Amino acid sequence: MVTSQRIGAHVDQHDPLAEAVARGADLVQHFLGDPQGWKRPTVAYAGGATALRDAAARADIDIYVHAPYVLNVATSNNRIRIPSRKLLQQTLDLAGEIGARGVIVHGGHVLKDDDPQVGFDNWTKCVERADLVVPLLIENTAGGDNAMARHLERIERLWQAVSDAGGDPVGAGRIGFCLDTCHAHAGGIEVSAAAEKVLAVTGRIDLVHANDSRDAFDSGADRHANLGRGRLDAQELLAAVRAAGAPVVCETPGGADGQGADIAWLRERL
C-alpha cells in the first residue's frame, strides 16, 4: 500500500539533502547550529541558506528545523527565558531563509515551586512577540513533573495559552503541533490513542516524530529506539501515525542504515 504521508528523518546539518538521498527520504529535519548551545544559528550547507533552499526545491525534499534543546520560553528564570525568545526568533528567521516548513520546539517547563500558569502565560507572551515567519510546531515531551507539554491536561492548557495570543496564530496556521510517539509513551499517554487525544485538544497535528522507546510506559525517559525494536507495540505506533495524517520524521539511531530501514518499515506498513 502506498502512503500519501511524506516520511523522512532527522539528519546532520552539513548536507541534509545528501542525507535524505542516502535514506530514501521525502523530507529532513536538522538543527541550525549547536542544539545544546546559545550561539546564533547558522547554515552549514555549502553555499548558505539560498543554496539550500533552492537545492531542496529542485530535489522535492521538505525541510524542517528543530530548535535548540536549551530553549525554554516557559520558565520564570529571566536568564533563560529572555535568551530563549531571542534564539527562537533567530531560528525562525533563518528557517524562513532556507524555506523550512516549520520549526519544532519543546514545550519547556517551569521551576519546581512555580504555579504552572506562569509557564502558560509566558507562552502566550512568547507567541505574541514572535514574528512567525514559518510555522512554530510545539512538541510534546517525555519527562518532568513541571513540563508544559508532557500530560494531556498540560497540553490542553498550553494550547489554550497559545490560542489566546493575539492574531489567532493557531487558526492562521502559524502555530502547530508535533506529536512524538516515544515522548507520548514515556510521558504516560497511550500511543494507540495519542493522536486522537491530541487532535481532540489541538484540532491539528502538523508533524509526527515516529520513534520507538527503549523504556517503559510513563518512565519519563526520552530514549529513542528503531521502529519495531523498542517497547512500543508496532500496531499502536502505526495507528498513531495513521491517525495523525501528517508528515513523519524518524529520530532514530543507526544513521543512514538505521533510519533508512525505519523509513522503509513505515512505508511498507502504512
Strand partners, 64: 29
For the chain, domain boundaries: 7-269
Residue carrying C-alpha cell 550561539:
39
Band (pLDDT 50/70/90 cuts) for residue 262 is very high
Look at residues 94, 88, 89 and name the one whose alpha carbon lies nearest to residue 107: 88
Distance of alpha carbon 149 from alpha carbon 221, whole angstroms: 14
The fold adopted by the segment(s) 7-269 is TIM Barrel (3.20.20)
**Mean pLDDT throughout 123-146?**
97
User: Is pLDDT at 130 greater than 50 in this prediction?
Assistant: yes
120's enclosing H/E stretch is helix 116-129
pLDDT given for residue 1 in this prediction:
39
User: Is pLDDT at 47 greater than 90 in this prediction?
Assistant: yes
pTM of the model: 0.97
Torsion of CA 38, 44, 50, 53, to 10 degrees: -100
pLDDT given for residue 172 in this prediction:
95
Tell me the angle at which helices 234-244 and 255-269 cross, rounded to the nearest 10 degrees. Answer: 80
- What's 131's DSSP letter? -
Instruction: Name 152's Cβ contacts closer than 8 Å, sequence gap at least 6.
Output: 189, 197, 198, 201
**Mean pLDDT throughout 40-48?**
98
Distance of alpha carbon 8 from alpha carbon 259, whole angstroms: 8
Q: Take residue 64 and report the three cell numbers written for it.
A: 524542517
- Where in 132-256 does DSSP place strands (E)? 136-139, 175-180, 207-209, 212-213, 224-225, 248-250
Average pLDDT over the chain reads 97
The helix/strand count (H/E) of the chain reads as 9, 10
Residue carrying C-alpha cell 491517525:
243
Band (pLDDT 50/70/90 cuts) for residue 3 is low
Distance of alpha carbon 134 from alpha carbon 155, whole angstroms: 22
Which residues in 48-86 are b (16+ Cβ under 10 Å) and which e? ebeebbebbeeeebbbbbbbbeebbbbbeeeebbeebbe
User: Is pLDDT at 2 greater than 70 in this prediction?
Assistant: no
Q: What are phi and psi of 179, to 5 degrees?
A: -95, 120
pLDDT given for residue 103 in this prediction:
99
Contact predicate 10/250, CB 8 Å? yes
Q: Take residue 12 and report the three cell numbers written for it.
A: 546532520
pLDDT in tens, 59-114: 999 999 999 999 999 999 999 999 999 999 999 999 999 999 999 999 999 999 99
**Mean pLDDT throughout 40-61?**
98
pLDDT in tens, 151-206: 999 999 999 999 999 999 999 999 999 999 999 999 999 999 999 999 999 999 99
pLDDT given for residue 4 in this prediction:
84
Residue carrying C-alpha cell 491530541:
198
